[in-house]
Each structure stands twice: as C-alpha cells, then as structure tokens.
Amino acid sequence: MRKLWLIGCSVLLLASLSLAKEKLVSQWNCGKASDAHSIDVGDQANHAYAVTKTTCTASKGEVGGVKEKEGIGTQFNETMGDSTTWHGVFVVTTESGDKIHYSYASSGKGSVKDGQFQSGNNKWSMVGGTGKFAGVSGAGSCTGKGNADGTVTWDCTGTYNLK
C-alpha cells in the first residue's frame, strides 16, 4: 500500500511540475512606426484611426531558455485627443530563429501629447509560434514609456507554458 501511495504522489508531483508556469520578464525598445496609415475621423479635433507597423529590439528577456531578439508589432490604433487605445499582434523572432506570436486584443491604453506617445499599458497572450514555441501559451502585461526621440521602451512581465 505504501508503494502505491508513493507512486501516486510521485506521478502527481511530476504532473504538477510539467504544468508549472515559467516567468517572463522582457524589455523592448521600439522605434517609430516604419509603416503608418492614419485617417482623420472628422467628427471632432484630434480623432483618428491608424494602422501601424513597428520594429522593436529586445534588451532583455528569454522564453524557454532562448533569448528574444526582435519583435514586429502590427496594430490598429484609435486616438482621441490625448488618449489612445490599440490592439494588435506582436511577432517575436528569437536568437534560434523560432517565432513567438503574441496577441494584445482590445487592451492597450495610453496617453499622447502633441501626437507623440507618452505612456501606456496593455495585456497580452501568447497564442502560438514556430519550432520550440509551437503550442506555447501564456499571458501577462506591458507598461510603456515614450522617449524624447519618439521611441518607446516597454517593460513586460507574465507567465507561459511550453507545449
């Protein structure tokens, strides 16, 4: 009976370890949008919709022991006065060449001044990837701060599971 109990406990321990979530701490330095299309709505001053594409470089962060290298964010923005909201997809290329796909759907909120991003935050989900990251899942959030040169620094945290 004791052996059966020990085997059962060992199986539960191994199962819980395999389901354990890993922590993610990343920092991204993002340039100005390389591709941006904005349309003035016309119903009030400073109300616009835009689609943008921005390239970012990781200054820290790794997933599954592999360093994050570059990310490309493609998103839809709505700016109204000094407030902005956004949603989109962020595709990360790791040092191994594998990709991780993040979604930040209807979650980004921030402030702008004179058309330049000041600060904001969003929630993200890992929704897939390639190679080692096929089937990855996770969730977390990022906080961004605009820099004087028009770039943005994002600090991101969360948890994830590899398949």
Give yes or no for residue 160 having a pLDDT over 50.
Answer: yes
Instruction: Tell me the three state secondary structure of residue 44.
Output: coil
Task: Look at residue 6 in the predicted model and tell me its pLDDT.
Answer: 35
Judge: domain 22-161, CATH 1.20.120.530.
Answer: no
Alpha-carbon distance of 150 to 55, in angstroms, equals 13
pLDDT band at 115 (very low <50, low <70, confident <90, very high): confident
Predicted TM-score (pTM) of this structure = 0.85
Strands 152-161 and 99-113, sheet pairing:
unpaired
Q: Percentage of residues in the chain with pLDDT exceeding 70?
A: 88
Task: Look at residue 105 in the predicted model and tell me its pLDDT.
Answer: 81
Task: Look at residue 19 in the predicted model and tell me its pLDDT.
Answer: 53
Task: Look at residue 20 in the predicted model and tell me its pLDDT.
Answer: 66
Give yes or no for residue 7 having a pLDDT over 50.
Answer: no
* DSSP-assigned letter for residue 132: G
Task: Look at residue 4 in the predicted model and tell me its pLDDT.
Answer: 37
Alpha-carbon distance of 137 to 161, in angstroms, equals 5
Task: Look at residue 107 in the predicted model and tell me its pLDDT.
Answer: 79
Alpha-carbon distance of 142 to 68, in angstroms, equals 15
So where are the chain's domains?
22-161
Average pLDDT over the chain, rounded to whole? 89
pLDDT in tens, 17-52: 345 689 999 999 999 999 999 999 999 999 999 999
pLDDT in tens, 143-156: 999 999 999 999 99
Q: Would you give the distance in Å from CA 50 to the centre of its chain?
A: 19
The arithmetic mean of pLDDT across residues 99-120, rounded, is 93
